[in-house]
Amino acid sequence: MLSEQEIIHGCRSNDRAAQRRLYDLYAGKMHVVCLRYARTTAEAEDILQEAFIKVFEKIGTFRQECPLSVWIKRIVVNTALNHVRTYHRWQDTVDAETVEGEIEDEHSGVSGFHFQELLQLVRELPTGCQTVFSLYAIEGYQHNEIAQLLNISEGTSKSQYSRARMLLQRMLTDKMATK
C-alpha cells in the first residue's frame, strides 16, 4: 500500500500505477462533485476525466499547503464550472426581490428522500440555479466568491440561489404528494 506522499511522488514521475492509485482513491468522491454540476451521468464522467487529466498535469505544482483531497476538489469544481460556462446557457436570471418572498418555510425538511433523489432534483434545476446552489449550499462558497468564479454579480448569485431553493421546495412538495 502506497502512502499519499509516495503516490504524489509517483504521479510527478508519470508512474501509471501511482496515477491509477490516486484516481482510485479520489474518483468516487469527485464523481459526486461532478454530478452536482452536470445534467447527465455521462457528462459528469466527462468532467471527472478532464479534471483528473488536469490533476496529473499539475501535480508538480501541488505545494502541500492543504490536503491533497482539497486540492483535487478545487480542480474538479473549477473544471465543472468551466464546463458549465462552455456548454450550458445561463438560464432564467431573476432579481432576488422577485424570489425572496416565494420561499415559504426556511427550514423545510427533506427527510424521507434518498440522496440520489435529491441529487436528481438538483440536476433538474436550470443551469444557473443548479450551479449557484451547488456552490453555495454544498461546496460552502459565499456569494461574493461565486460571483467572481462565475463572472456574475453578487445579486445574481443570491437570486439564483433563492430561485433554486424555491424550485427545489416545489419539486419536493410535488414528490411528497406522489409518495
pLDDT in tens, the chain (179 residues): 778 999 999 999 999 999 999 999 999 999 999 999 998 999 999 999 999 999 999 999 999 999 999 999 999 999 999 998 888 765 544 444 443 443 333 434 455 667 788 888 998 999 999 999 999 998 999 999 999 999 899 999 999 999 999 999 999 888 888 86
Please state at what angle helix 154-178 crosses helix 115-123, rounded to 10 degrees.
130
Which of 57, 55, 30 lies closest to 44 in space, CA to CA?
A: 30
CA dihedral sign of residues 49, 50, 55, 58: positive
Q: How far is CA 130 from CA 22, 24, 31, 127, in A?
A: 29, 27, 16, 5
Spatial separation of the C-alpha atoms in residues 148 and 146, rounded to whole Å: 5
Task: Round to the nearest angstrom and report the end-to-end CA distance of the chain.
Answer: 46
Query: What is the model's pLDDT at position 87?
Result: 81
Q: How many residues does this entry show for the chain?
A: 179
Q: CA-to-CA distance for 143 and 10, rounded, in angstroms?
A: 38
